[in-house]
Each structure stands twice: as C-alpha cells, then as structure tokens.
C-alpha cells in the first residue's frame, strides 16, 4: 500500500506527449465522419480489455489503498460498465441530427442540430475513483468520436499502471494515449491546444485547468467538489437515513466527491439519529475500535499526507471543544482513521469550512429549517445536497431555496450512478455535465445547420428599404408581441 505523501514516479517525456498529440490530429479529422458502428467497436475493445483484467484490478486497488473487491466492483467497474451499456444501446440515436421546427421569422427554412466530435480531448482523472473517473469519461469521448489523451493520478500508481497497459494494448497512441506522472506531466499537457478538457478534482486545481484552457479557448467540463450538506428533519425515517447515510459517507472511506460532508439534524431527533448511526457502524464494521481497524471492508485513506490532513481537522475540532460520539482513532502509519461521528463543533473549526473528503462526519443540531438553508446559501454551491424528510413542504422548501449540482430526497450519492441524469456541479462545484447522453454531448459540438427552401422569405428583408418594406418589417416585429401558438 502506498503510504508516501506523494508517490514517487517518473514524469512522462514531453516529446512523447507532443508526438502523441500531433499524431492524433489526423485521426481526429478522420473520425469526424466515423459511423456509430466504428465507435461502438472501439468501446467494446476497451470493455473486453477492462474485464479481462478484473482480478488484476483487485490486486492494484489493494496495493494502492486497500480497497475491497466488493467496492472495486460496485464503485469502479459498475459505473464504467453502465456507461458502456448505454453507449452500445443508444449511440445511434444520440448521433442522429435533431430536426427543429422553424420559428416565426424562419418560416420556409429547415433546421437541425448535428453532433460533431470536438476533436482531441484531454481527460485528467483523480485518485479517489481512479478507474471509473478515468474510463467513464473515456467511454463518452470515444462515443462522441474523439481521440483522447489521459492523465491518471500519481497517487494510485498500481491502478494507473494497469490502466496504462490496457490503453497501450487496445489503442495506438494516435487514437488514445495515457501518460503517467505528477504535476509536471499535467503542466506539459495543459500547454497543448486541446479541443476540450475534462477534469475531475478539487475546485482549486479546477481553476488552474480553466485558466490553462482559456489560453487556447478550449471548452472544459469541470467535475469539482465542495461540502455537500445533508438535512435530516424531524419527520425523517431515522433508521433508513442512518443506514443509507452511513453507507454513502463511508463508501471508499469518505473519499467521494458526492459524500455527505456534514449533517444538519433537527434537535428533536438528533439523539435517536446518532444512536441509529452508531448501531449501523458497529454492525457493519465492528463493535469496537480494534474490530473496525481489522475490518477488510474499510478502505484506507489514500496516503499519509491525506491521513495527516484529516487527523489535523479532527484534532483542531477537538481542541476547540467538539465531542466525538464514535470513532476518532488515528494510525497515520497505516493510513487509518476510524469512521467518526463528531458534534458540538464550535464556529471557526476548520472541519466546518474545508472539504473533509474522509471518514469524519460532523453532526450539526438545528431547530429552524430557515437557518439551515441560510447556512447552505452562505457557502459555495455544493456538488450535491441531500434532504431526509416525509414532509413535502420541507422537501420543496429545500429544493426551491438552495442550489447544488445534484440533489437526492431520502437517498444519497446514487444520483451519480443514474445514467439518464446529468451529473455535474454548479459554479464552485463545477460546470458541464457527464454520464449517458449528457456525457456524449459534453464531448460533442452541437452544430446548428439551417437549409433554405425555394420560398426564401428572407428576400422581403433585403434592401432597398422602401417605405413599404419598412412597414412590412415593422408589422413582422409587432407580430412577435403575440404569444406563441
């Protein structure tokens, strides 16, 4: 298991990066006219190579941060396979030009939208779900007819190396290439004039990516993060909320961009909710600290640097007077932090302002829903928001008065896996959407195409502008005050 603060690895050769990028130009031009069958064949080759390495990925994830085979299947393979399944079943329909009726002033024309590949795209993937957040966007990019260069995270070296072998076996570099490395490799890639950049990571790095893209006016999809809040009101099904939230929070040991970051719990039900959460954690991971540490279902923190960061957040909160209900054990050498529920956190504690991205769950008592909504709106817009309630008025109030990339009612996290929903953030938590047809569109340019008919009504607007022609144009403009039929 990797424990260093930053995994040591060789940087990719800048000349090789440039050679692959240049070689992909001719391929990208050729692939503009690629049929659905060709694109599907590429995706199938990737799928078959991925599944052939199933057991090897188990070992790689064990090496990088002791992720169990069950979590590898559920959180890494499953999203990619769902993405592939949608492409195989729907790509022909997605690729068809969409006809559009003419507006009032465009009568006599024929309009459609064509979906063109953006061209050469860059995919920069994170470490927390290194397989699904790398190959998932790649599937969308291939479905849209693009070439791709991929930069996985250096913090999961075993998984990255395995993905590199798969890409090299399946694709020549002029189609898809993968370059391992850390910040210098990312910097070298971001200097190139890609047609689109798909980045998943933190808001701070997202700003750097967007700045680099602006130098070439490249379009971007940014899947970022933020402190995704959860609300549990006085009418919530507390047992179901506890069971689901303890899964969503501690999946991948809390290292999930849409994990519940903190929970606002109504004062009237907080003791019962906390008790239910503690019981769930004991049933799933062990009745005491030693049993939980031995449990093979608990993924480790990715490295010592992040373990120290999380330990610092916990220590800061405790020094300020916070109370741990369960958990709190830290073993930095083993990159281990126990599933921890913490409350009575005073204002000013770093855990309330920094994205946690780990197995620490602050529980915040509230009495008035308006106060919770005000607190959410005072913070940057989160990637996800969760509300647990059986009172429709409360649900409606939360959804109408807040903004987030996505939201779940009486559920959490799973909107990420719904292939018919757009997944993405808003402002600080990202821009653009992914998954399914939304992912196909993210990697496509929607080209407007208008065809003239023999009628050519536009001639009525040609000069010379006689008084009669002016009256006609005014009449058309005035008609636009009428409602659409």
Active site residue ranges:
223, 257
Classify residue 202 by burial, with Cβ atoms within 10 Å: 0-12, 13-18, 19+.
middle
Q: Is residue 464 reached through a cis peptide bond, with omega within 30 degrees of 0 on the bond before it? A: yes
Bridge partners, residue 323, by sequence: 343
Helices (H), 53-172: 54-65, 69-72, 78-95, 132-143, 157-170
**CB of 206 within 8 A of CB of 409?**
no
CA–CA dist 28, 23 (Å, integer) = 9
CA–CA dist 165, 183 (Å, integer) = 21
**CB of 296 within 8 A of CB of 265?**
no
**CB of 315 within 8 A of CB of 337?**
no
CA–CA dist 131, 56 (Å, integer) = 12
Q: Maximum Cα–Cα distance for the chain, whole Å?
A: 91
Residues 6+ apart with CB under 8 A from 416: 79, 258, 406, 423, 435
Residues 6+ apart with CB under 8 A from 78: 132, 417
CA distances from 353 to 226, 350, 379 (A): 10, 5, 9
* Residues 407, 412, 416, 421, CA torsion sign: negative
CA–CA dist 383, 356 (Å, integer) = 14
Q: Write out the two tokens for 164.
A: 């590199």
DSSP state of 422: -
End-to-end CA distance of the chain: 65
Q: Write out the two tokens for 315.
A: 């220590």
Bridge partners, residue 451, by sequence: 110
**CB of 419 within 8 A of CB of 440?**
no
Bridge partners, residue 200, by sequence: 223
**CB of 349 within 8 A of CB of 320?**
yes
Closest alpha carbon to 425 in 200, 253, 211, 213: 200
CA–CA dist 359, 366 (Å, integer) = 22
């Amino acid at each position: 298991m990797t424990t260093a603060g930053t995994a040591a690895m060789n940087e990719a050769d800048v000349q090789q990066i440039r050679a692959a990028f240049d070689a992909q130009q001719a391929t990208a031009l050729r692939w503009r006219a690629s049929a659905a069958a060709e694109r599907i064949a590429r995706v199938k080759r990737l799928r078959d190579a991925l599944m052939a390495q199933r057991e090897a990925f188990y070992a790689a994830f064990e090496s990088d941060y002791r992720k169990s085979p069950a979590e590898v299947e559920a959180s890494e393979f499953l999203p990619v396979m769902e993405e592939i399944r949608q492409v195989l079943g729907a790509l022909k329909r997605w690729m068809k030009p969409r006809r559009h009726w003419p507006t009032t002033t465009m009568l006599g024309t024929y309009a459609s939208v064509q979906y063109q590949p953006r061209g050469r795209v860059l995919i920069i993937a994170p470490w927390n779900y290194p397989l699904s957040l790398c190959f998932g966007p790649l599937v969308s990019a291939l479905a849209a007819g693009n070439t791709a260069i991929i930069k996985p995270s250096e913090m999961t070296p075993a998984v990255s190396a395995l993905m590199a072998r798969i890409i090299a076996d399946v694709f020549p570099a002029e189609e898809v290439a993968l370059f391992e490395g850390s910040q210098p490799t990312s910097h070298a890639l971001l200097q190139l004039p890609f047609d689109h950049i798909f980045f998943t990571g933190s808001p701070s790095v997202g700003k750097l990516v967007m700045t680099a893209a602006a130098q070439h006016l490249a379009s971007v999809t940014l899947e970022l993060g933020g402190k995704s809040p959860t609300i549990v009101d006085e009418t919530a099904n507390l047992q179901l909320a506890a069971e689901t939230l303890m899964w969503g929070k501690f999946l991948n040991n809390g290292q999930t961009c849409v994990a519940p970051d903190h929970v606002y719990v109504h004062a009237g039900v907080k003791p019962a909710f906390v008790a239910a959460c503690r019981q769930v954690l004991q049933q799933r991971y062990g009745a005491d600290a030693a049993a939980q540490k031995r449990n093979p279902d608990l993924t480790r923190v990715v490295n010592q640097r992040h373990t120290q960061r999380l330990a610092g957040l916990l220590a800061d909160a405790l020094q300020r007077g916070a109370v741990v209900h369960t958990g709190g054990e830290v073993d930095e050498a083993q990159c281990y932090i126990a599933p921890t529920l913490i409350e009575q956190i005073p204002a000013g504690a770093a855990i309330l302002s920094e994205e946690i991205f780990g197995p620490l769950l602050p529980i915040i008592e509230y009495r008035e829903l308006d106060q919770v909504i005000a607190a959410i709106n005072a913070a940057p817009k989160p990637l996800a928001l969760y509300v647990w309630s059986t009172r429709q008025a409360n649900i409606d109030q939360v959804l109408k008065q807040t903004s987030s990339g996505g939201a779940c009612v009486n559920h959490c996290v799973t909107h990420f896996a719904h292939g018919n929903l757009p997944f993405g953030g808003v402002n600080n938590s990202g821009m653009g959407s992914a998954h399914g047809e939304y992912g196909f569109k993210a990697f496509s340019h929607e080209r407007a195409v208008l065809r003239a008919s023999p009628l050519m009504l536009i001639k009525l607007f040609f000069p010379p502008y006689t008084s009669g022609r002016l009256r006609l144009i005014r009449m058309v403009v005035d008609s636009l005050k009428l409602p659409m039929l």
